Structure 1
């Protein structure tokens, strides 16, 4: 009996070890990614490096015509069956592209919304460009009382991050961000694959080396806007080119700058229609414009960061600014902070490959 129990125990132990080894092999990239997850600001700001292939080329074969399609793909490909519920985007945001006092191209961006924890994620796909992007974790189901916790089951949904960027920069110096607008008017082409708000950003980060390439890539796809919140995109590159991409009058429209800088806020700028939400979008635009034009030799990083903190949206006594980021499209330097906390700047560096 003792021999039998001992033998049974050894068999069980071997099976447990075998399962552990197989699981480690099968989930090695997921585990490495989750192991890299760390909190960088107590407001609810995190960083993570995504290891392995997140299957974006496979996604581009079929695309998604609804959030349910994206949820199904991400659940099957990245989350090993764990469901995700995509629900919201953002409302009041501001972005600008200009030069700093060293002549480098900088791209500043605010994300304003109700409480939204964020994740700065680094990706390096085999068939695409390395990038760093900022993800709204509330889009993946996280909230103030439900935050990821390092290497734990509760953090598993952060593995969907490659499909949820709200802004970012790639190794070629192309930066992009989404900003909400009151309306978007776009006619779908049945012969084109459809992307949503955030996978359009992933397309640009992974595949575009210039602004013109980004515009061409996006023109090859239909788009729908998740959560029913219409958006436009400010795109810029290391050569100093920029464009505001809008969906208006049934088409994808491009708005090019008239000078050496470009600003985007929550109004439609195409053809000077200036359709806004009726809140602070024009005030924020004008504040940024005045600051850029006053500093003719270019903004310092400190001035740019302070400007982002200044134009974040206040709704009465409620501070809606969730994160701000300053991308240097020339050097790859990234400066990120949460809710006006310019005393805790998260400095990161993306290795550039022009």
Structure 2
């Protein structure tokens, strides 16, 4: 049976249920905004009213461990991800986020210490629905709620060329629960990786240094890739972290475990088979256009965004709601 109430809302962040029960849902207390917050809120824009998608640049420091109460998920995530090493644009991480039609935020962070990052956030987990998202640039109360989006990157890339994304798993995952390690939620761990890692090995070290809590939400696995072309899928099996390394210049995953599954078993899953066949045929040599075309070929009826993170030049190419003729671009530089 799926938990309800605060324990269900806590899974993304790994916050104790008692703490989430005491928090206001998704927005800071009514205290004066700092100068950094004011500067950040001034950048808030509606990029596309159809999804809708907003954008914002967050300036200044933030507390990644700040507790949040979150709206509960309604169904498991279903996503497709791949890494390709040898394309003309350098290594890329491609990702379809397949989920409910909720508003989203393209968030740039520029902290005084630590790397700049680009990430995509599902705003429904902050209690922001479609109507609220559209009025956020002129609604102070909603806009301030979006300051918390920094803790919820559903996929992203940092200025060092390290990218990460996740997909759900249909079977239970059993992360280790080791004493002395801080506990993080299944999406907050993305923020820790983006803030602290430059390479796949460093991303693995972040996972090993924390207990990841799936309480109240679907079990997840993760794809990480870096600017040198290394890639790995991180999964939890029997209370251990399993690191499945990419080979032959590519990696791919969708909603099935890779650990302990051979090539034939993986190929039984249609989206994985399409990605693997294309990546194998090209030796991981996909440019931006080819990567977006592959995401189009594995999209589902509920694909909300398709993103190609270019890891050497910090450029994100993305499309919304399966409208591949309308490509958008975001850059970490500048």
TM beyond 0.5:
yes
Match of 2:180 in 1: 191
Change beyond 3 A, Cα 1:121–1:295: same
SS in 1 for 2:324: coil
Number of matched pairs? 299
Partners in 2 of 1:321 and 1:195 — Cα distance?
27
Deviation at 1:351, TM superposition (A): 2.8
Residue 160 (structure 1) aligned with residue 157 (structure 2): no
Equivalence for 1:346: 328
Segments of structure 1 that go 5 or more residues without pairing to the other structure are: 1-22, 60-68, 72-83, 314-318
Q: CA deviation at 1:187?
A: 2.7
Question: Of residues 218, 224, 228 in structure 2, which corresponds to 1:235?
Answer: 224
Aligned to 1:295: 282
Contact 1:85–1:140 under 8 Å retained in 2 = yes
Residue 219 of structure 1: aligned partner: 208
CA contact (8 A) 1:34 1:151 kept: no
Deviations for 1:242-300, whole angstroms, at most 9, x for unmatched residues? 110001111111011232100011111112179x9xxx981001111122233347223
* Structure having the higher Rg: 1
Residues 1:272 and 2:279 aligned together: no
On the 8 A contact 1:336/1:345 being kept in 2, the answer is: yes
Contact 1:134 1:167 in 2 (8 A): yes
After TM superposition, give the deviation of residue 226 of structure 1 in Å.
5.6
Q: TM-score if structure 1 supplies the norm length? A: 0.78
Q: Pick from 239, 242, 245 the counterpart of residue 253 of structure 1.
A: 242
Cα shift readout 1:54-90 (whole Å, capped 9, x = no counterpart): 123xx2xxxxxxxxx831xxxxxxxxxxxx5342285
Out of 156, 167, 173, the position equivalent to 1:179 is 167
CA drift of 1:324 comes to: 1.0
1:43 alignment partner in structure 2 = 51
* Residue pair 1:31, 1:151 contacting (<8 A) in 2 also: no
Within the candidate set 75, 80, 98, 2:84 is matched to 98
Q: Which has the higher helix share?
A: 1
Q: Which residue of the other structure, out of 306, 320, 331, is the alignment partner of 2:313?
A: 331
Over the residues paired in the alignment, what is the CA RMSD in angstroms? 2.5
| Distance of 2:242 and 2:81 partners within structure 1 | 18
Higher relative contact order (CA 8 A, sep 6+): 2
- Structure 1 equivalent of residue 23 of structure 2: none
CA separation of 1:24 and 1:343: change in aligned 2, threshold 3 A? farther
Q: Equivalent residue for 1:140?
A: 126
Give the secondary-structure state (helix, strand or coil) at the position aligned to 1:55. coil
CA distance in 1: counterparts of 2:324 and 2:76, whole angstroms = 22
- Greater CA deviation, 23-32 or 238-247? 23-32
Q: CA deviation at 1:40?
A: 1.4
Check conservation: 2:59, 2:109, Cα contact below 8 A.
yes
